[in-house]
A = this chain, B = another copy of it.
Amino acid sequence: MLAAWLDGLTGALVPVADRALHYGDAVFTTLRVHAGRACWLDAHMDRLRQACAGLHMPEFDWSLVRNEAEQASAYPSAAVVKVILSRGDGARGYDSRNSTGRRLVFAYAAAALDEEVYRRGVDLRCADLVLSDQPALAGLKHGNRLEQILARLECADPVSYDAVLSDSRGHAISATSANIFARFGNSVRTPGLTRSGVAGVARSRVLEALAGAVTVTDIPLDSLYRADELFLSNCVRGVVPVRQLGDHRYTETLTALGLMQALHPSLGLPVPG
């Protein structure tokens, strides 16, 4: 971490009564910085607002949140900015009335992947952990992420870049920190996220870029092995082709390549030549 700001003030310490610390009672977003600017900031602001509404968070001053994200993006060598909106301090217990909110903004130097990785693709495994269904939280990027942490712990082997998570119906939902797309012939599909998963900002950009050519639908995990192409989307790493899922190897990266050409320049991410 390069720097952190709490309610606009530089700081490295948070009051111990903060509800994000006690209960994960927060929402967040993580954005890419390119040339000192926050990429796709409007969309990140929208997703923070939606998540706050979904969790009945206190009102935030959105112009302050936006300004702070922009200032963090201008921090020397910032490559990633994370904004956490916590419900703030509160009394002990789940009752969250009278909380006034706290803005936490972080600048990180975290690097992108090598161009070679974008050319070659990454290897995924299927997580043993099954995502729970919670329509009240689905789609939102909130601060309760133990499922993703447990699934990521399954990737301790040296080759797995990430794990594909599925739900109790056996439908693929996402990777732990990316949305997933599968192409079958001319048809690109991505899972619906009304029961679990996070509707990523990069996912929206991919949907826009493919303009109506993507079907949001149930995708049985097994059917991923019959896809012609698989790729991930994430705001920090952009579009990442998948080379292998478990023992199955994919050889096509056509759609992912087109999306990298369309989206990566403005993110300052590599476009494999």
Contact = CB atoms under 8 A, between A and B. Distances in A.
Interface in A64-92: 80, 82, 84, 86-87, 92
Interface residues of A, number: 62
Interface in A1-47: 1, 4, 6, 11-18, 20-26, 28, 30
Interface of A: 1, 4, 6, 11-18, 20-26, 28, 30, 55-56, 80, 82, 84, 86-87, 92-97, 104, 106, 108, 110, 129-130, 132-137, 142-153, 155-156, 168, 176-177
Contacts of A25: 145-146, 149
Given A142-B146, A152-B95, A156-B97, A16 B12 contact: yes
Copies of this chain in its oligomeric complex: 2
Nearest to A17: B1
Nearest to A154: B56
Nearest to A147: B134
Contacts of A12: 15-16
Nearest to A145: B23
B14 A144 contact: no
